[in-house]
Amino acid sequence: SKEMAIQEKEKLYIDLKKILARQPGPEVAEQLQIYQQSLKDKTKTDEAMSSELNMCEAQNAEYKYEIETLVRELHDAKNKYYMQNEKNETLRKERDTWLEV
């Protein structure tokens, strides 16, 4: 009947209104855009910092290698110095022995 059809249409109208009420409004889309832009900015910053960290780590590795090289060179120089001192001492003793004779 007509009354039943009207009630059905009203129920459908109310259901559609509820569905529309649950749909996000323009402020949600605007907020989403703000979040997306913020995420892009933070991603760029993160990539820049990551790149800088990689450069610092590479520089650190170079410094460590340079330090190891200098430590080896210092060790070698000390050894040469002590060996030369021993030779000089031996030569001095030989000379003194010859001079005593």
Q: H helices of the chain, where?
A: 2-22, 26-100
d(CA 61, CA 80): 29
Residues 17-34 pLDDT 10s: 999 888 888 888 899 999
Mapped onto helix, strand or coil, the DSSP state of residue 101 is coil
Over residues 70-83, the pLDDT tens digits come to 999 999 999 999 99
User: Over 80: is that where the pLDDT of 51 sits?
Assistant: yes
